[in-house]
Chain A
Amino acid sequence: MEEMNDAHMKKPGGFVFRLVALVVVVACLALFPFVITNRFYISLLNEMMIYGLLAMSLDVLLGYTGLLSFMHNAYLGIGAYIVGLFLIHIAPSSIWLALLVGVVGTTVIAVPVGWVQVRTGGLAFALLTLAFGMMFFTVAWKWYDLTGGDDGLMGVPQPDVQLGGWVLGNSGDPTVMYFLTLAVLLICLVVTWRIIHSPFGSVLEAIRENEDRAAFVGINVRKYKLLGWTFACMLASISGGLYILYRGYIGPTSMHAFAGAAVLMMVLLGGMGTLWGPIVGAGIFILMQDYISTMTEHWELFVGLVVILLVLFMPRGFVGLSDLFRFRKE
């Protein structure tokens, strides 16, 4: 009986395999700045990880709760603006406090928005995310005194990264930021993985599978959708905090619907409902964008083409690649 209890949770791959894969990938990422010392590549990988975190947070919503957000980048933006404003106006050297304020502040905004959104589902929910997202974009773009308008928030202090009085370096240093992002991403991935596979996560999955039925097994659908939404926005705000620490700048374009569509593509490219897939998807997307934009200024055209081909031939995304190498059991 005891073995059978666990058996239903075993998926192809197994826990040990996942753990080993994670350790290997993290080790490679940790060694990367020592092997490739070119700051450009370190920054590029850093950006991949920041957007990887954002894409993963959207996966919590899309892949596990079954809710589509067209503009999840809005919550990266809100987190980034809050952290930036906190560093400029309140405490220029408190990095952890700034990140915490970013998460709390974003949550305070995301909860009432979510409260309205969860009254709907499906396409209506997605459209509301677009409506709210465009409103937030307009605030960032037009409220000049607060956000700097279309110039963006400039001159954001880049504080030292401290851990218990021990200075690890300055967040303006790409290598220092790289390790901070890697550490935060790893913690977020592990914590999110744990939560998604908890009894709480299984409630979200039930809602994803069949919202109507969920109510009749006793699930307060709106409440859990709001919790899933809030959790996803909190994770997104962490990516926003990392974003502004790394760049020292945030502009309204990062909150535009185009950027929201890009995050959605990252999730679909990587493969939703896996957490790690969207992180890989973000990496592929940013690499593609960076590489193609060196050849042509019309890079969006080619990124679009690649996405179309991938959707047609790898509908499950990058994670579907493993299907090609797996022997079918039937």
Chain B
Amino acid sequence: MNQSVILHTEDLHRRFGGVLATNAVNIEFRENRLKSIIGPNGAGKTTLINVITGRLPASSGAILFQDRDITSQPAHRLTALGICRTFQITSIFMGLTVFENVRISKQMQRGGSFRIFSTKGSLKKVNAETWEILERLDLKDKAHVPSSNLAHGDQRLLEVAMALASEPKILFLDEPTAGMSPAETEHIAQMIKGLSENISVALVEHDMDVVMTISDEITVLHQGTIIAEGPPEEIQKNQMVKEAYLGGG
């Protein structure tokens, strides 16, 4: 199993006014590994993902993807490189069908967007691969439903499908189980675990059962800084982590 580092940051900072939401973060993500980023509310987990995936510019420091500096690259270029994400608050194309949501993502990955006189159906490979992804995530039956009509859990799943259509090498998932039932959570957790067999997965998650069960490695953030890192068993025993969560120390 290949476990070389695919993406890492060097002394990454992100400032909001006087607040350092990301403070000297050095974090690395390995191929075929699932790394969870946890921490109390306001620890800077989402900010870290936003900076790495190009949603926010870094204040200082560097981000390297396959040893190539990608700091301050625009989001669409990072997506093309294979750095993909989902959002904490569901972000999909509400007015489009489930199929079209995934298809457009696939089209951008495969190319063909400048075929101005062709039909959408003419991109055979794009369509076929879109069906594959919908099948894989059990969304096939709902392909022609407007995505705004989907249940919350299915919308979260659709977002993952859109990210997968971009063929990520590393996938950032920002609280994918938020607002889901226990059964749905269990289902999506297993799916995420499955994904990490082929790509690098970075997971921000509040559900500790999920985190402890499926993570290969956990990074704990507190006030923008990494305070602990290691396999789940180690993190569970870590005194500093307990204090951070209990608001002590």
User: Which chain A residues have a beta carbon within 8 Å of chain B's beta carbons?
Assistant: 1, 4-9, 194-195, 197-203, 205-206, 208-210, 212-213, 215-221
- A195 vs B118: C-alpha distance when bound (angstroms): 8
- A212 vs B100: C-alpha distance when bound (angstroms): 17
Interface pair A202/B104, CB less than 8 Å apart:
yes
Interface pair B118/A198, CB less than 8 Å apart:
yes
Interface pair B79/A198, CB less than 8 Å apart:
no
- A213 vs B90: C-alpha distance when bound (angstroms): 10
B113 at the interface (CB under 8 A from A): yes
Shortest Cβ distance from B142 into chain A, in angstroms? 11
Complex contacts, A199 vs chain B, CB 8 Å: 107, 112-116, 118, 120, 122-123, 126
Q: Could you say which of B75, B91, B131, B143 has the most chain A C-beta atoms within 10 Å of its C-beta?
A: B75
**What 5 additional pairs, Cβ within 8 angstroms, besides A6-B121, A8-B99, A198-B115?**
A198-B116, A199-B107, A202-B100, A205-B96, A209-B93
Complex contacts, A200 vs chain B, CB 8 Å: 113-116
21 of the cross-chain contacts (CB-CB < 8 Å) are A4-B131, A8-B144, A194-B117, A195-B117, A199-B122, A199-B126, A200-B113, A200-B116, A201-B116, A202-B104, A205-B95, A208-B95, A210-B92, A215-B74, A215-B76, A216-B53, A216-B55, A216-B85, A218-B80, A218-B105, A219-B76
CB within 8 Å for A220 and B96 given contacts A198-B117, A202-B120: no
Interface pair B105/A217, CB less than 8 Å apart:
yes
**Closest CB pairs A-B (n = 9):** A218-B108, A209-B93, A218-B79, A217-B105, A215-B75, A200-B116, A213-B91, A8-B99, A220-B76
By beta carbon, the residue of chain A nearest B90 is A213
User: Which chain B residues have a beta carbon within 8 Å of chain A's beta carbons?
Assistant: 53-55, 74-77, 79-80, 84-85, 87, 91-97, 99-100, 103-105, 107-109, 112-123, 126-128, 131, 143-144, 162, 165-166
By beta carbon, the residue of chain A nearest B124 is A5
Shortest Cβ distance from B189 into chain A, in angstroms? 23
Interface pair B119/A206, CB less than 8 Å apart:
no
- A209 vs B53: C-alpha distance when bound (angstroms): 21
Number of A-B contacts (CB under 8 A): 111
Interface pair B76/A195, CB less than 8 Å apart:
no
Q: Kindly identify which residue among B91, B92, B121 contacts A9, using a CB–CB cutoff of 8 Å.
A: B121
Shortest Cβ distance from B57 into chain A, in angstroms? 14
Complex contacts, B165 vs chain A, CB 8 Å: 217
Q: Could you say which of A1, A195, A198 has the most chain B C-beta atoms within 10 Å of its C-beta?
A: A198
Complex contacts, B123 vs chain A, CB 8 Å: 199
By beta carbon, the residue of chain A nearest B159 is A213
- A220 vs B84: C-alpha distance when bound (angstroms): 15
Shortest Cβ distance from A294 into chain B, in angstroms? 41
Shortest Cβ distance from A303 into chain B, in angstroms? 30
Interface pair B108/A217, CB less than 8 Å apart:
yes
Interface pair B93/A206, CB less than 8 Å apart:
yes
Shortest Cβ distance from A13 into chain B, in angstroms? 16
CB within 8 Å for A209 and B95 given contacts A8-B100, A199-B120, A216-B85: yes
Complex contacts, A6 vs chain B, CB 8 Å: 121
CB within 8 Å for A210 and B94 given contacts A1-B131, A8-B144: yes
By beta carbon, the residue of chain A nearest B93 is A209
